[in-house]
A and B are shown apart, each in its own frame.
Chain A
Amino acid sequence: DSGVTQTPKHLITATGQRVTLRCSPRSGDLSVYWYQQSLDQGLQFLIQYYNGEERAKGNILERFSAQQFPDLHSELNLSSLELGDSALYFCASSPRLAGGLYNEQFFGPGTRLTVL
């Protein structure tokens, strides 16, 4: 158990809909990262927050957005969903900013999103 929790575990929805994925980082970790993992694909970095502020953006679509709240939990919002958005979405946390040494990330169990 990494200490990172994600809800829901599974989510099935229809095209055009909007969903919110939730992540609670490890106690004390200030950085939260979101990743997308499609079938047989590697992890694609989406976005990172550090202590409530956006710090880095990766391959995140404009239909997607995220935020980190004062209690450090984070939400990833996916809107106007398409079939291709079906994937595993992982949240990870780290005590430090990215780019520094010892930036080990602790991953949650993921949310499996299925868009029908």
Chain B
Amino acid sequence: GENVGLHLPTLSVQEGDNSIINCAYSNSASDYFIWYKQESGKGPQFIIDIRSNMDKRQGQRVTVLLNKTVKHLSLQIAATQPGDSAVYFCAENRNMRFGAGTRLTVKP
């Protein structure tokens, strides 16, 4: 069936380093993707989105890359801060499917 999933369940980085969180999808019809951040005890929060006619989009300290050929997207966080510690989900718009999530831990 259709699936949106994450390669790694956990990621630990040093404060100040860059973080890369990966996500794979299988629905070729998906044309819009969103990354969400979920802090402990809170609901998911929108970070950045990307349409399928783009392969890169940048926000404040975050960049999303989309590779439609291999159905893969990644979220890059520059100069990771302790406040970035959270679970990150990718989601696609067609079926409201979310990946399992990657837990990012930032070590001071």
Contact = CB atoms under 8 A, between A and B. Distances in A.
Interface in A53-104: 56, 58, 90, 92, 98-104
Contact of B99 (A35, A42, A104): A42
B98 interface: yes
A100 B100 CA distance: 23
Interface of A: 2, 4, 33, 35, 41-43, 45, 48, 56, 58, 90, 92, 98-110
B93 A98 contact: yes
Please report whether the interface of chain A is mostly helix, strand, loop or mixed according to DSSP: loop
B100 A110 contact: no
Interface of B: 31-32, 34, 36, 42-46, 49, 51, 89, 93-101
A109 B99 CA distance: 19
A37 to B, nearest CB: 9
Given A42-B101, A101-B31, A104-B34, A109 B42 contact: yes
Interface centre among A48, A92, A99, A106 (most CB of B within 10 A): A99
Given A43-B89, A45-B95, A48-B96, A102 B45 contact: no
A33 B36 CA distance: 15
B43 A2 contact: yes
A101 B99 contact: no
Across the A-B interface, give the 3 residue pairs with the lowest CB-CB distance, nearest first: A107-B43, A42-B100, A45-B96
Contacts of B99: 42
A103 B89 contact: no
Given A42-B89, A42-B98, A100-B93, 17 more contacts: A2-B43, A2-B45, A4-B43, A33-B96, A43-B89, A58-B96, A98-B93, A98-B94, A100-B32, A101-B31, A101-B32, A101-B93, A102-B32, A102-B49, A103-B93, A107-B36, A109-B42
B99 to A, nearest CB: 6
